[in-house]
Amino acid sequence: MSNISAWRLGARDALPLLGGYIPVAISFGLIAVQAGFTAGAAVLISTLIYAGASQFLFIAMVAAGAPLWLVIVMTLLINARHVVYGPNLAPYLPSGRLWPWLMHGLTDQIFALAHTRLPQLLESQRLGWYCSAALIAWGSWIAGTALGAVAGAEITARWPLLGQVLPFALPALFIVLLAPRFTSWQWTCTLGSTALVALALKLAGHSNLAIPLAALCGAVVFYLLQQQATRTEAQHEH
């Protein structure tokens, strides 16, 4: 596969993300303008912070007049889950000064895609694939924000169903990324319980805690099952 093909593959892999990113970005643009930010400021927030949940929190807290140090702390706390993404990709990233800066594009979804796709690519193709996928995702987030800030109210009024249907692209993408990992009883229990805990936490209103807390619960399940398997194996040997 040539470098151009890697860029093309990255673009194709990132396409499902648009279904999830654009409707949420439109909502963000609309809410930011309603909260008193200009369209330009909303676009700049999406360009620079580029992290969905924390951006909504940023505008809500600033609009409510919260202390600005608290805005920074809360934004970073919500984004703290990102600390496990880079290290997991590190073995697949060739050396280069560009890579650390490219981590700006490492959202939840790009991480999920990259964690599956990068090991399948040659080292020389990884930069092209990552840049292509990350740029499409980033671009769609910025464009969606601009669209929402300028015409969000009109769009949501005219096509209300679009905003309900397109976001299913994200769970569908995660299903496809996870499906090959259901390779054993241990992984099935771990991943199944993680998804259920995250779902329950979100339904209970703990949106910001749901991902890191559920992932930790899943890791605990994994270790418990492994411990049990090791114990059973030891008993059989005796």
As a whole number of angstroms, the distance between CA 207 and CA 236 comes to 44
| Residue among 109 and 132 whose Cβ is closer to other proteins | 109
Integer Cα distance of 144 and 162 in angstroms:
14
In the complex with other proteins, the residue whose CB is nearer, 81 or 128, is 81
What minimum distance in Å lies between the beta carbon of 201 and other proteins? Answer: 8
Pick the closer one to other proteins by CB: 16 or 128: 16
CB of 238 to other proteins, least distance (A): 26
- In the bound state with other proteins, the residue whose beta carbon lies nearer, of 101 and 235, is 101
How many angstroms separate the CA atoms of 9 and 86, rounded? 21
Taking a C-beta distance cutoff of 8 angstroms, is the pair 26, 155 a contact? Answer: yes
Query: Nearest approach, Cβ of 163 to other proteins (angstroms)?
Result: 6
- Cα 111 to Cα 59, 68, 125, 136: the distances in Å are 25, 29, 17, 14
Contacts of 119 (CB under 8 A, 6+ apart): 92
CA distance 73 to 54: 11
Instruction: Sort 122 into a burial class: Cβ within 10 Å, 0-12 / 13-18 / 19+.
Output: exposed
The least CB distance from residue 235 to other proteins, in Å, is: 23
Measured from the CB atom, the residue of 138 and 235 that comes closer to other proteins is 138
We find the least distance from the C-beta atom of residue 143 to other proteins, in angstroms, to be 19
